[in-house]
A and B are shown apart, each in its own frame.
Chain A
Amino acid sequence: MSGFLSSSIARKVAMALSALFLIFFLIMHLSVNLTSLFSETLFNHLSHFMGTNPMVQFVLQPILIFGVVFHFVMGFVLELKNKKATAVKYAKDNGAANSTWSSRNMVYSGLVILAFIVLHFIDFWIPELNTKYIHGDMSGLLEGTQDFRYFEELQHKFVNPLRVLAYVVSFVLLGLHLSHGFQSAFQSMGFNNKYTKTVKAAGKLYSIIIPAGFVLVAVFHFLNH
């Protein structure tokens, strides 16, 4: 990597920018998911809009994929650099005395989230691509009916308790990742002032509410399918 992104600080800032973009995306994603708790019709309509609108599909979705891939690749590049900088380890290292578990283990929570994204793509995204762009069925309708298929598919996915468990564990790790990542993104971009306490509190709140919302959706459909 050359030019501006070869510097340690520029990489930090790039990580932070992609993180803030993903933090915003999670709010959008959860907002749509939460509608499935109280309105099948609204969830179906929103899903159909997100799945077929050209702006969402061909502009926002590629940006999102770039953001996700960039965040992971840059995260691993930095991790490899850091491994090189810390070649010899301490026999006794008391990390808990001065930092949180989540801040020291971002790469591991990140790896769990990466594994989750693979599972999530297999569950939802790849079948969507298959239906829409391989079979060319853009109607969003359940085969042989006049009803939308999205809510039905969502419920169907959360029948298997193992999948629900995998989702819940991943969301817990996502929460831990966010509990450090949210405020860390602001610090990396040079934001550390009288508002930092508020940013940290907002980050804690965000890292609980967002994963809890996703857990609620998964467990709700497991119990109500």
Chain B
Amino acid sequence: MNLTLKIWRQKNADDKGQLVDYKVTDISEHMSFLEMMDVLNEQLINKGEEPVAFDHDCREGICGMCSMYINGEAHGPDRGITTCQLHMRSFKDGDTIHIEPFRATAFPVIKDLVVDRTAFDRIQQSGGYISVNTSGNTQDANATPISKIDADKAMDAATCIGCGACVATCKNSSAMLFVGAKVSQYALLPQGQVEATERVLNMVQQMDDEGFGNCTNTGACEVECPKGISLENIARMNREFLKASL
């Protein structure tokens, strides 16, 4: 298939940036979206032009590196996948595809489609950990009984790969789905109780300090999340926050 791409090009963080039109031809519908971007970049390199910078790593939907806002949606039009899992069969011959970086004041553009998501790392560092005895007499994890329901919910929350699609999608650039998931995965388990109070207070404080917006419960994040993280996690974070504050 032949496509017109409107791609955000920005030399560096200080550059104003703009959408630039590119044509790609003979794209196979079996290619992933990132492979299509590889084809474009080879084309650009052969012409002596600067290739488009974009984030990618595992290319199998688990690392959370690939981003891109494709035709007005984080990770493109399909549900429950990252951009590397998006295939060109989701588009039609002759389509024009808008490709922009994830937008949020807390995710500044570094170059082209690459944004700085280290704000997530700082939130995680502020409370996303537990105290574990590492002195040699560590308790067997299976010795602590955990209800199946709580274990499943904690696991669901822990599937968050921190890609930032929730922030990119949110009309307020709120990070509450990410923080909700990170708070929930510990709040549901006995191992997380030791730091429960400080964790939620510190992570929410860090989230606010990073300049993320306020959640207005549109639910867009839940729809666009490649891992299907539920709004239940935001509600749980709110409960944890109130419990810790009052």
Q: Are both chains from one complex? A: yes
Q: Smallest CB–CB gap between B197 and chain A, Å?
A: 14
Q: Is the CB of B214 within 8 A of A104?
A: no
Q: Inside 8 A of B218's CB, which chain A residues have their CB?
A: 98-100, 103-104, 180
Check B232 for interface membership: any CB of A closer than 8 A: yes
Contacts of B6 in A (CB 8 A): 91
User: Quick check: A7 and B204 within 8 Å, CB to CB?
Assistant: yes
A159 in contact (CB, < 8 A): no
Number of interface residues of A (CB under 8 A): 41
B201-225 interface code vs A (CB 8 A; 1 in, 0 out) = 0001101100111111111100110
Interface-side segment among B23-31, B42-50, B81-89, B97-105 = B97-105
User: Which one of B57-65, B129-137, B166-174 contacts A?
Assistant: B166-174
Determine the distance from Cα of A99 to Cα of B171 in the docked complex, in whole angstroms: 10
The stretch of B67-75, B140-148, B155-163 that contacts the partner chain: B67-75
Q: Does more than half of chain B's interface fall in helix, strand or loop, or is it mixed?
A: mixed
Distance of A49 from chain B, by nearest CB (Å): 37
User: Shortest distance in angstroms between B8's beta carbon and chain A's nearest beta carbon?
Assistant: 8
Sort A-B residue pairs by CB-CB distance and give the 7 closest, nearest first: A94-B72, A85-B213, A192-B235, A190-B239, A98-B223, A82-B172, A190-B238
On whether the beta carbons of B173 and A99 are closer than 8 Å, the reply is no
Whether, in the assembled complex, B236 has its beta carbon less than 8 Å from a beta carbon of chain A, the answer is yes
Interface centre among A89, A106, A188 (most CB of B within 10 A): A188
Interfacial residues, chain A to chain B (CB-CB below 8 A): 4, 6-13, 78, 81-82, 84-95, 97-100, 103-104, 106, 180, 183-184, 187-193
With A8-B207, A85-B106 already in contact, the answer to whether A190 and B242 are too (CB < 8 A) is yes
Q: How far is the CA of A68 from the CA of B242 in the complex (A)?
A: 23
**16 further interface pairs, Cβ-Cβ under 8 Å (given A13-B242, A91-B8):** A6-B208, A8-B215, A9-B238, A10-B241, A82-B172, A84-B211, A88-B103, A88-B105, A92-B98, A94-B71, A95-B72, A95-B171, A98-B169, A187-B234, A191-B235, A193-B232
Distance, CA A89 to CA B170, complexed state (A): 11
Number of chain B interface residues as a range = 35 or more
Given contacts A7-B205, A7-B208, A93-B72, contact A82 B103 (CB under 8 A): no
Q: Is the CB of A8 within 8 A of B208?
A: yes
B4-24: which residues lie under 8 A (CB-CB) from chain A?
A: 6, 8, 19
Tell me the complex Cα distance, A12–B235, Å: 11
Separation of A54 and B214 alpha carbons in the complex (Å): 39
Number of A-B contacts (CB under 8 A): 136
With a cutoff of 8 Å between Cβ atoms, the chain B residues found around residue A98 in the complex are 73, 169, 218-220, 223-224
Residues in B neighbouring A103, C-beta threshold 8 A? 216-219
Contact B171 A12 (CB under 8 A): no
Partner of A90, one of B69, B205, B213, B239: B69
A82 B245 Cβ-Cβ under 8 A: no
CB distance from A199 to the nearest CB of B (A): 11
Taking CB atoms, residues of chain A closer than 8 Å to B213 are 81-82, 84-86
> Can you list 13 A-B pairs with a CB-CB distance of less than 8 A?
A6-B208, A7-B241, A8-B174, A9-B237, A82-B173, A82-B216, A90-B103, A99-B219, A180-B217, A184-B217, A189-B238, A190-B242, A193-B232
A89 to B211, CA, bound (A): 16
Contact A86 B104 (CB under 8 A): yes
Rounded to whole Å, the gap between the CB of A147 and the closest CB of chain B is 48
